[in-house]
Structure 1
Amino acid sequence: MTVTVAVVDDRSLTFRGVVEALERAHGVTVAGVFSSVESVAGLRDVPTVVVTGHCYPELDTDPPWPEGLAFVVLGTCREPSRVRAAMSAGALAYLDRDVDEATLLAAVHAAGRGDLYLAGSARIALLAEATAEVSDGAPPALTTREREVLWLVAEGLTHQQIARRLCLSKSTVDTYTHRLRQKTGAVNKAGLTRVAMTFGLEPAA
């Protein structure tokens, strides 16, 4: 599957390397380099993924971004609260700015599929936080459909595969997983899997 990517460039040396890596990657088409997220959202042919280093508040504005637009954030702040805020604002991937090319491409393809992706120090910090959060307290109150989606995430299915399994649209599955992250405090698929396994949240037969 070819992923169309727009890069929101902050004119740093890091982003020059990002653009070069994406342009030579197999299965990636670079739609262009832009100065702001707004300029990407205004395109006639909206790309699948936006790679940006801009702060997360820019992602959380009205009107909402076009359906299916996924953000990969290359950040410098590694505090769990800031990474969590970026993910809550709509980012599907959060990477350190000094990320290697293979990890960058893995994140882009994951975001293109609608999957969450964390790497580097951000991943370590958030997984540690998620472990602490789910080790105590009562299981979250979930609807039957939310349990179904959660369990399929725990089984390793992609959002598109879950959509086919449950006869839903991918955007609906995206919404359910966003709600699950809000309800459970998990910030990625590993965190959701840990919640499902810790509390035995298998869907009712």
Structure 2
Amino acid sequence: MTITVVVVDDGSLTFRGVIDVLRAAPEVTVVGVLPYLESVAELGVAPRVIVTNTFCAKSVADLQSLHHSTLLVMSPTIDVGQVRAALRAGVRAYLDWDVDPATLLRAVVAAGRGDVYLTMAARDALLPDPGRCLGGGPGRIDVPPVSLTARERDVLRLVAEGLTHKQIASRLSLSKSTVDTYAHRVRQKTGAANKAGLTRVAMSFAVEAEAYSS
């Protein structure tokens, strides 16, 4: 079963390339190319993923209520406020424009199955100003008050990169059941109810906490 995708084409050469890559991918079916995000509601098809360079919290909420679709945002600039606002609104993937085709497809697949996928530039945007500390103020990080082992942080970091438990097991030279156990422990410690919740924790906690605990 392929992932149905709608592309909101802004007319740029970048999005011409995006459309070509998606149409050539066997795991993706492009069901529409539209000029505006709001036009998706009139399409008559329920795409699983919408690829766009436009983010608006209200539009995301409206589209999700109508189609249960999720957004993949490709942005020419990565702004920490936009990335965080997008994740809070339910956007599942946030990429910078210069990603390669393989990364784009991994992000589409991850978003299609309900996971979160951020490229390195978007993940870096979630890190605070290195000149600020973990206290209050503009540079404050909302790190959950939990203690994770080094291996649990490794698993979280790889979840944030979009890897499956099987792929994580191979990367860390562990069995899949062991990775499942680590992921289960993290869910218990953080209150994440499922894999999607675990991925959100990886974005809000593991990426930031890893930078300060490594």
TM-score by length of 2: 0.62
Q: Number of aligned pairs?
A: 170
Who is 2:86 aligned against? 86
Residue type of the partner of 2:26?
H
Q: CA deviation at 1:64?
A: 4.9
Q: CA deviation at 1:26?
A: 1.9
The separation in 2 between residues aligned to 1:137 and 1:54, in whole angstroms, is 28
Say whether residues 1:112 and 2:123 are aligned partners.
Answer: no
Q: CA deviation at 1:136?
A: 8.0
- Tell me, which stretches of 5 or more residues in structure 2 are unaligned? 135-139, 147-154, 165-179, 185-192
Indicate if the aligned counterparts of 1:7 and 1:51 stay in contact, CA closer than 8 A.
yes
The separation in 1 between residues aligned to 2:29 and 2:100, in whole angstroms, is 19
The separation in 2 between residues aligned to 1:108 and 1:138, in whole angstroms, is 28
The separation in 1 between residues aligned to 2:208 and 2:97, in whole angstroms, is 29
Who is 1:9 aligned against? 9
Who is 1:37 aligned against? 37
Which secondary structure state, in structure 1, belongs to the residue aligned with residue 92 of structure 2?
A: strand
Q: CA deviation at 1:98?
A: 1.6
Who is 2:103 aligned against? 103
Which secondary structure state, in structure 1, belongs to the residue aligned with residue 66 of structure 2?
A: coil
Indicate if the aligned counterparts of 2:144 and 2:205 stay in contact, CA closer than 8 A.
no
Residue type of the partner of 1:52?
T
The separation in 1 between residues aligned to 2:144 and 2:120, in whole angstroms, is 30
Say whether residues 1:139 and 2:135 are aligned partners.
Answer: no
Which secondary structure state, in structure 2, belongs to the residue aligned with residue 5 of structure 1?
A: strand
Who is 1:177 aligned against? 197
Distance 1:58 1:11, change over 3 A: farther
Indicate if the aligned counterparts of 1:77 and 1:83 stay in contact, CA closer than 8 A.
no
Indicate if the aligned counterparts of 2:46 and 2:68 stay in contact, CA closer than 8 A.
no
Say whether residues 1:59 and 2:59 are aligned partners.
Answer: yes
Indicate if the aligned counterparts of 1:37 and 1:58 stay in contact, CA closer than 8 A.
no
Q: CA deviation at 1:83?
A: 1.1
Q: CA deviation at 1:86?
A: 1.7
The separation in 2 between residues aligned to 1:137 and 1:44, in whole angstroms, is 41
The separation in 2 between residues aligned to 1:72 and 1:104, in whole angstroms, is 9
Who is 1:122 aligned against? 122
The separation in 2 between residues aligned to 1:195 and 1:98, in whole angstroms, is 23
Please provide the CA RMSD for this pair: 4.0
Which secondary structure state, in structure 2, belongs to the residue aligned with residue 6 of structure 1?
A: strand
The separation in 1 between residues aligned to 2:22 and 2:143, in whole angstroms, is 43
Which secondary structure state, in structure 2, belongs to the residue aligned with residue 15 of structure 1?
A: helix
Indicate if the aligned counterparts of 2:50 and 2:71 stay in contact, CA closer than 8 A.
yes
- Tell me, which stretches of 5 or more residues in structure 1 are unaligned? 141-152, 166-171, 198-205
Q: CA deviation at 1:2?
A: 1.1
Once the two structures are superposed, residues 20-46 of structure 1 have per-residue CA deviations (whole angstroms, 9 ceiling, x without a partner) of: 000111211100101122221233321
Identity %: 43
Which secondary structure state, in structure 2, belongs to the residue aligned with residue 91 of structure 1?
A: coil
Who is 2:169 aligned against? none
Indicate if the aligned counterparts of 1:107 and 1:117 stay in contact, CA closer than 8 A.
yes
The separation in 1 between residues aligned to 2:108 and 2:143, in whole angstroms, is 35
The separation in 2 between residues aligned to 1:79 and 1:98, in whole angstroms, is 15
Indicate if the aligned counterparts of 1:92 and 1:116 stay in contact, CA closer than 8 A.
yes
